């Protein structure tokens, strides 16, 4: 069962040469129908499976793709990875997952490691710390397939898959405004990330539309993306301690949203009575929270799928790919009571 037959075994058993067997197995024209039948039948009988490692060596392809994300214990990324796996599996690729924990050094090490593993391509979501994307640029220019998703590198012209962050933020902020909140803070990820900037823009645009001033003190960045709990707690306390305390917070990242809820609970701040909350998260249990949480939800599974399709298409392209697209998917705003005004 696991001691597999090789092409050689089949050749020996049938008194043929390995090349004949190989050709028969691959349905080559030049093989006699009878021989072909014989080989196919025998292969079927002994449950022959080509050795993927030998194939890889021959083809100079590992049939694996490397994934770089900040962490897997994050609903957004675990769902995205699910999507990645679902496509990769069907296309005969396996995926090697690495985590940066939001560190640039770990990200570099992971890319190095994946390259030394001879992955055929890379699916990357940048760490919160990353500012220097020249390694990706270099690889990409050399023709190495890379697809970015979610946290993309602006200056590398390759395929990218992102959510409509602007719209997601705009609508969530608008929801808070319509609920009657006027002093809305924005807690978000590192300024390094394009998603943070896009989400801020959406937030700001909603304020503008409704004629609300933007108070710079209401903008808090967590440069470690919520990996350091104290950083988040500090930012939240700063908001709470302001003379003009915000009456709502719109949160721009999955981990930050969840962390914030833990912190608010710890500080015994009531949501939405003391402060209303809406935030990006892909948690499936946000409706079970106390209070049920208003969320901006991304189609993470689908994003993973699209990114993987694009990557495999690039890998398997006969010609150097020149046209790169940026696929934008829609987000979903789910209103629940954490963003409702208490009267």
Partner DNA sequence: GTGAAAGCGCTAACAC
Partner DNA sequence: GTGTTAGCGCTTTCAC
Q: Which does 25 bind (CB under 5 to 8 A by kind): DNA, a copy of itself, none?
A: DNA
Q: From CA 118, how far away is CA 94, in angstroms rounded?
A: 12
What residue 134 binds from DNA, a copy of itself, none (CB within 5 to 8 A, per partner kind)? none
Determine whether 11 is exposed, middle or buried from the number of CB atoms within 10 Å of its CB (0-12, 13-18, 19+): middle
Q: Are strands 121-124 and 64-69 parallel, antiparallel or unpaired?
A: parallel
**Contact 179/330 with Cβ under 8 angstroms?**
no
Please pick, from the candidates 15, 27, 211, 216, the single residue that binds DNA as defined by CB under 7 A. 15
User: Token pair 């500090």 is at which residue?
Assistant: 234
Among 32, 41, 53, 178, binds a copy of itself (CB under 8 A): 53
Residues 17/20/24/26 CA torsion (nearest 10 deg): 110
For residues 142 and 72, the answer to whether their CB atoms sit within 8 Å is no
Using CB under 7 A, pick the residue from 1, 2, 34, 268 that binds DNA: 34
Q: Which residue, among 73, 274, 71, 49, has the nearest Cα to 183 in the 3D structure?
A: 274
Interface with a copy of itself, residue 2, by CB under 8 A:
yes
CA distance 155 to 192: 13
The H or E element containing residue 315 is: helix 300-316
Query: Measured from the CB of residue 230, what is the shortest distance to a copy of itself in angstroms?
Result: 18
In the bound state with DNA, the residue whose beta carbon lies nearer, of 10 and 239, is 10
Tell which residue, 118, 165, 167, 111, has the closest CA to residue 137. Answer: 111
How many angstroms separate the CA atoms of 53 and 42, rounded?
22
* Nearby residues of 278 by Cβ (< 8 Å), 6 or more positions away: 172, 173, 175, 176, 248, 249, 250, 251, 293, 294, 295, 296, 338, 339
Residue 93 or 218 with smaller CB distance to DNA: 93
Size of the site for a copy of itself (CB under 8 A): 48
Q: Which of DNA, a copy of itself, none does residue 288 bind to, with CB < 5 to 8 Å depending on kind?
A: a copy of itself
- Show contacts with DNA in window 59-78 (CB under 7 A): 60
CB of 135 to DNA, least distance (A): 22
Of 6, 18, 35, 78, the one binding a copy of itself (CB under 8 A) is 78
Stretch 39-58: interaction string toward DNA, x if CB under 7 A: -----------xx--xx-xx
Single residue of 18, 22, 56, 164 touching a copy of itself by CB under 8 A: 56
The residue written with tokens 């793709």 in the block is: 65
What secondary structure letter does DSSP report for 335?
-
Q: With binding defined as CB under 7 A, does residue 19 bind DNA?
A: yes
Which residues touch 93 (CB under 8 Å, ≥6 apart)?
Answer: 63, 64, 65, 120, 312
Q: Which is nearer to DNA, 34 or 44 (CB)?
A: 34
**Quick check: 144 binds a copy of itself (CB under 8 A)?**
yes
Least distance in angstroms from the C-beta of 285 to a copy of itself? 6
Q: What's the order of all strands across the beta sheet hosting 184-189?
A: 219-222, 184-189, 248-251, 276-280, 294-297, 332-334
Asked if 237 touches DNA (CB under 7 A), the answer is no
Residue of 45, 117, 178, 209 interacting with a copy of itself (CB under 8 A): 117
Q: Nearest CA to 338 among 280, 283, 285, 273?
A: 273
Give yes or no for residue 158 binding a copy of itself (CB under 8 A).
no
Q: 23 contacts which partner out of a copy of itself, DNA, none, CB within 5 to 8 A by kind?
A: DNA
> Residue 37, interface with DNA (CB under 7 A)?
no
Binding site for a copy of itself (CB under 8 A): 1-4, 49, 51-54, 56-57, 62, 64, 72-73, 78-79, 81-82, 85, 89, 94, 96-99, 115-118, 135, 138-139, 142, 144, 258, 261-262, 265, 283-285, 287-292
- Interaction site with DNA (CB under 7 A): 6-8, 15-20, 22-23, 25-26, 28, 30-32, 34-36, 50-51, 54-55, 57-58, 60
């Amino acid at each position: 069962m696991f001691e597999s037959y090789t092409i050689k075994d089949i050749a020996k058993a049938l008194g043929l040469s390995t090349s004949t067997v190989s050709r028969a197995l691959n349905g080559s024209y030049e093989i006699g129908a009878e021989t072909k039948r014989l080989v196919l039948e025998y292969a079927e009988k002994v449950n022959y499976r080509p050795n993927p490692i030998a194939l890889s060596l021959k083809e100079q392809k590992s049939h694996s793709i490397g994934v770089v994300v900040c962490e897997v214990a994050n609903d957004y990324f675990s769902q995205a990875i699910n999507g990645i796996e679902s496509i990769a599996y069907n296309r005969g690729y396996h995926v090697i997952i690495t985590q940066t924990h939001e560190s640039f050094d770990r990200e570099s090490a992971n890319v190095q490691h994946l390259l030394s593993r001879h992955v055929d391509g890379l699916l990357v979501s940048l760490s919160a710390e990353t500012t220097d994307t020249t390694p990706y640029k270099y690889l990409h220019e050399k023709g190495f397939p890379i697809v970015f998703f979610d946290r993309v590198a602006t200056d590398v012209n390759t395929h990218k898959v992102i959510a409509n962050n602007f719209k997601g933020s705009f609508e969530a902020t608008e929801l808070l405004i319509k609920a009657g909140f006027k002093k809305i803070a924005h807690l978000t990820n590192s300024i390094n990330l394009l998603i943070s900037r896009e989400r801020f823009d959406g937030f700001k645009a909603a304020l503008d539309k409704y004629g609300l001033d933007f108070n710079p003190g209401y903008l808090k960045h967590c440069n470690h993306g919520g990996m350091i709990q104290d950083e988040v707690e500090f930012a939240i306390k700063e908001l709470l301690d302001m003379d003009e305390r915000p009456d709502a917070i719109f949160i721009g990242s999955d981990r930050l949203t969840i962390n914030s809820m833990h912190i608010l609970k710890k500080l015994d701040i009531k949501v939405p009575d003391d402060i209303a909350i809406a935030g990006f998260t892909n948690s499936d249990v946000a409706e079970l929270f106390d209070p049920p949480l208003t969320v901006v939800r991304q189609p993470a599974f689908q994003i993973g799928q699209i990114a993987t399709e694009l990557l495999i298409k690039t890998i398997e392209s006969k010609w150097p790919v020149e046209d790169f697209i940026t696929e934008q998917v829609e987000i979903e705003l789910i209103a629940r009571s954490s963003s409702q005004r208490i009267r």
